[in-house]
């Protein structure tokens, strides 16, 4: 389907860096060292330095990065972790598998991020941590959040969608106690498979995670703590090292395309995600709220061979997995309303302006006479 306009097309990026990527892969294959070798070690250092964090530990996925980070907090039965309901399922899954109780707070209707004004109401004597999600490349103001929660509650930044985003000049991932990144292929910094990393300035956290990702082993015959197998793959680390060199350029292009969308889209039809003052988004996804007729618009665009996605069609608090765990639903009206109106438009750094203009024209055609 060559004439299809994809929501996210990964092929042009591969073609742009194909030679560098093939050379990196060949070096790994020729080395004969495929597990936790020099590329993983180098990428951990390079990515930590890029973000401005003291330590990095590569893991199998972004989900594992969230879970390992939560393990550092020594959570006990009954401990609570605050998180937003409008995020990908892994955020919730990691909290549940850590043994903690997820506590949802609603989102801001314009930024789609955790509503910090509601966080204070959700804190109890059992609150141990909070997981702000930097969603769609937009960033939560972690400094403001710290002022709200105080020094006694851990902050775990979910940075799966915010590689390079800034909060008053500081990159997300260096602002909380620990952060978790995903390198799923569609991310701003994406591998060609799964991958993740935790970043922290806490040496004890980093050492504990480094130990647990390899079964808790200190040598091939002895382990001293419970652990699992969750290692960033050497080949993926080599690929990520190549792409990291180009990340700022890719993010700059994302910002240019986002600005063009914002300039061309009719505010009578759709409302783009708002980025607050002091925040620099990296526009992982370009999402807008439809003023009306969201599902009809999706079908209309499909008929024009323009792919869109809905992130997210249902708040986590309404998911069956949540209900089966707690036998109740939380009333979070803003997350519900956003879920019913949101749509993600075609968007990736190699996308042409012609594709963007075609998408905008199709949206205008649909709403003409309807609004």
- pLDDT tens figures, 91-131: 999 999 999 999 999 999 999 999 999 999 999 999 999 99
Are 281 and 312 in a shared domain? yes
Are 119 and 227 in a shared domain? yes
Are 85 and 46 in a shared domain? yes
Average the pLDDT over 182-208 and give the result. 98
The residue from 207, 228, 244 where one domain ends is 244
Alpha-carbon span 27 to 215, nearest angstrom: 28
Are 182 and 77 in a shared domain? yes
pLDDT computed for residue 2 by the predictor: 60
- The DSSP 8-state label assigned to residue 100 in this structure reads P
Are 204 and 252 in a shared domain? no
User: CATH code at 44?
Assistant: 3.40.640.10
User: CATH code at 294?
Assistant: 3.90.1150.10
How many domains does the chain fold into? 2
Residue 221 has pLDDT above 80, yes or no: yes
Are 261 and 331 in a shared domain? yes
Are 207 and 328 in a shared domain? no
The residue from 244, 263, 288 where one domain ends is 244
Name the residue range of residue 320's domain.
Answer: 248-367
pLDDT computed for residue 326 by the predictor: 65
pLDDT computed for residue 329 by the predictor: 60
- Give the pLDDT band (50/70/90) at residue 322: confident
Give residue-wise pLDDT tens across range 166-194. 999 999 999 999 999 999 999 999 999 99
CA distances from 201 to 56, 191, 198, 204 (A): 9, 25, 10, 9
Whether 2 is covered by a domain: the verdict is no
Are 343 and 205 in a shared domain? no
Average the pLDDT over 212-226 and give the result. 92
Residues whose CB falls within 8 Å of the CB of residue 275, separated by 6 or more in sequence, listed in order: 111, 138, 281
The residue from 244, 274, 304 where one domain ends is 244
- The DSSP 8-state label assigned to residue 133 in this structure reads B
Q: What is the DSSP annotation of 210-268?
A: HHHTBTTEEETTEE-S---B---BHHHHHHHHHHHTTHHHHHHHHHHHHHHHHHHS-TT
Alpha-carbon span 21 to 88, nearest angstrom: 29
Whether 155 is covered by a domain: the verdict is yes
């Amino acid at each position: 389907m060559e004439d299809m306009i994809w929501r996210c097309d990964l092929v042009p990026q591969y073609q742009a860096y194909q030679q560098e990527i093939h050379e990196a892969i060949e070096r790994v294959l020729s080395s004969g060292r495929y597990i936790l070798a020099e590329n993983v070690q180098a990428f951990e250092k390079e990515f930590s330095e890029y973000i401005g964090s003291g330590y990095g530990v590569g893991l199998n996925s972004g989900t594992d990065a969230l879970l390992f980070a939560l393990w550092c907090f020594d959570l006990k039965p009954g401990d609570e972790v605050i998180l937003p309901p409008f995020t990908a399922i892994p955020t919730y899954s990691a909290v549940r598998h850590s043994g903690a109780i997820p506590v949802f707070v609603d989102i801001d209707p314009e930024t789609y991020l955790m509503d910090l004004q509601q966080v204070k109401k959700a804190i109890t004597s059992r609150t141990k941590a909070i997981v702000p999600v930097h969603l769609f490349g937009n960033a939560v103001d972690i400094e403001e959040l710290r002022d709200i929660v105080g020094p006694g509650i851990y902050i775990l930044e979910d940075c799966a969608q915010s590689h390079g985003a800034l909060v008053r000049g500081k990159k997300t991932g260096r602002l909380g106690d620990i952060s978790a990144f995903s390198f799923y292929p569609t991310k701003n910094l994406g591998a060609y498979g799964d991958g993740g990393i935790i970043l922290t300035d806490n040496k004890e956290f980093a050492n504990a995670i480094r130990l647990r990702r390899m079964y808790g082993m200190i040598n091939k015959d002895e382990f001293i703590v419970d652990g699992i197998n969750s290692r960033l793959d050497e080949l993926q680390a080599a690929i990520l090292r190549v792409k990291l060199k180009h990340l700022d350029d890719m993010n700059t292009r994302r910002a240019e395309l986002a600005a063009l969308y914002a300039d061309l889209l009719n505010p009578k039809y759709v409302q783009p995600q708002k980025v607050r003052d002091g925040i620099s988004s990296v526009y992982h996804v370009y999402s807008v709220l439809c003023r009306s007729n969201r599902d009809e618009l999706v079908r209309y665009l499909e008929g024009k061979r323009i792919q869109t996605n809905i992130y997210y069609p249902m708040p986590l608090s309404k998911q069956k997995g949540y209900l089966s765990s707690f036998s109740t639903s939380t009333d979070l009206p803003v997350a519900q309303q956003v879920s019913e109106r949101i749509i993600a438009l075609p968007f990736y750094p190699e996308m042409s302006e012609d594709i963007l203009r075609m998408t905008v024209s199709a949206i205008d055609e649909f709403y003409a006479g309807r609004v």
